[in-house]
Homo-oligomer: A and B are copies of this chain.
């Protein structure tokens, strides 16, 4: 049931004629070599799977398959070639869109925001680990380095004293994930916070190094993140102000022991008191990694079995089916499951685990699930990997919930408060009901805030399913903003809406973003519309979605 995008000629960017396009393409082909310029002129089968995903559009498209597509993909091999591409784009006013690996599933995959853009697939040929410093616990990587690749390189060197941090899926790019402010599950889970030093090609083609990298011969580019004077790094995160070609990152020291734990909470009403208990423990670092609080539904779905195994009606599983199915799993009957890890040598872990147990079991019927009773093929062991920085792919399994399973995420940030957790769950459940979508909510508790990640799963080949998913997302974004919650990250197709919720003082921040965009990208060639920021030449022309 793979959907096809019928196409024999590339979808051109608005305002660029076929002859200009062809001329420009032949020019960049001369620069990069024919094998490094690929026209998107074939009917695109979009049933690739995660590790062999298309780089011309979103493998899990929530818009029409043909709405956000590339006209061509180019493969630079060096910073100098990225610079050449950028200069070429300026010359032809050609919209370009960089991806590191394009596995940004749930947020747009490899799709460009502007239809017909040239996608710059940085990862394919720029995939070197430039350094791993075993004394400073840092590395310097190119865009094509995945969490798997970094992990494996460290193992290959025998550096057992060094850990990495990985998000739930290990196939993404360290740079791509970090720039999008992705999150992992060791104490180094806030990737943006532990990056140090960027090399960036600006939209006008200049190459800069931030932080200590601006000092010729610097010996601290990867170990001191700030440098001297203003810090520009933030401008290149979730943005369209530069193409990052190198990034430094701090690596975690092996904590000398680790131990996963899991608690099951019986009632939906346990969420609020649990969140209240989590807050001080998380801030005090007794809970040391991102706290994952998952719904029973997701716990059922992550087995990888389709919904129809459990229920043949429309919409989500009825409560009684959820109760029946979750009861069969190692977590036992419950509404919410907590996954965590304690780090350090045994007596240090025990100190923390005792406090956690004492606090969690204040909730009636809270149950610790003994890991020794959990079968090795259970998802618990996948979380155990991830919280220890071992890349994994099991999380993909809940995409099997529907045929042609795709997903898109709603990711609001909130205080770590019981009442906020309840308000967000209520909001999501109501809209779920209204739009008849299937969704899995999970709370990821950072340090002083939590992200609720609501994954909407849908069959991408059914237009109504896509429309419902989008409608539900748009409604939730609006509901959330009215209550003071904003998204930390969003899908390409929702960026204009999310950006518009950050409107304090008559949109002052967006005006600043636009001022920066116009100063750094006067021709508006780079990733126009990313994060809702449009360059001058596109503004006021109705390009917002």
Contacts and interface: CB of A to CB of B under 8 A. Distances in A.
Interface of A: 135-138, 181, 192-193, 196, 202, 206-210, 212-220, 222-224, 226-239, 241, 250, 253, 255, 279-280, 283-284, 347-348, 351, 413-417, 420, 446-449, 481, 483-490, 498-499, 501-505, 508-509, 511-513, 515-516, 518-520, 531-533
A446 B220 CA distance: 12
B216 A513 contact: no
Contact of A235 (B231, B347, B446): B231
Contacts of A519: 515-516, 518-519
Q: Kindly list the 9 A-B residue pairs having the minimum CB-CB distance in the complex, ordered from nearest.
A: A231-B234, A519-B519, A229-B531, A223-B448, A230-B239, A214-B502, A224-B449, A214-B509, A217-B484
A180 to B, nearest CB: 11
A279 B224 CA distance: 14
Contacts of A415: 136, 219-220, 223
Nearest to A256: B284
Contacts of A520: 515
Contacts of A483: 217
A518 B516 CA distance: 10
Contact of A486 (B192, B215, B250, B508): B215
Contacts of A488: 224, 226-228
B253 A207 contact: no
Contact of A236 (B230, B416, B446, B498): B230
A213 B448 contact: no
Q: Which of A503, A508, A509 gathers most chain B CB within 10 Å?
A: A509
Contacts of A531: 228-230
Contact of A283 (B137, B348, B414, B487): B137
A219 B485 contact: yes
Nearest to A239: B230
Nearest to A225: B193
Given A215-B504, A415-B219, A516 B192 contact: no
B283 A253 contact: yes
Nearest to A200: B512
Contacts of A490: 228
B516 A228 contact: no
A429 to B, nearest CB: 20
B413 A508 contact: no
A254 to B, nearest CB: 9
Nearest to A219: B484
B241 A508 contact: no
Contacts of A136: 279, 283, 415-416, 448
Q: Which of A232, A236, A498 gathers most chain B CB within 10 Å?
A: A232
Given A215-B504, A519-B519, 16 more contacts: A136-B416, A215-B481, A215-B486, A215-B502, A218-B504, A219-B414, A220-B413, A223-B449, A224-B449, A229-B502, A231-B237, A231-B238, A232-B509, A235-B235, A253-B284, A347-B347
Given A219-B484, A347-B351, A224 B448 contact: yes
8 contacts: A135-B279, A135-B280, A181-B226, A214-B504, A220-B485, A228-B489, A231-B238, A232-B516
Contacts of A512: 202, 206, 208, 232
A512 B211 CA distance: 13
A351 B345 CA distance: 10
A46 to B, nearest CB: 28
A251 to B, nearest CB: 9
Contacts of A214: 502-504, 508-509
Given A181-B226, A351-B348, A486-B215, A208 B508 contact: yes
A363 to B, nearest CB: 19
Nearest to A519: B519
A210 B231 CA distance: 15
A256 B15 CA distance: 64
Nearest to A138: B448
Contacts of A229: 238-239, 499, 502, 509, 513, 531-533
A250 B193 CA distance: 14
A487 B228 contact: yes
Contacts of A220: 413-415, 449, 484-486
A505 B208 contact: yes
A486 B212 contact: yes
Contact of A280 (B237, B253, B484, B505): B253
A169 to B, nearest CB: 21
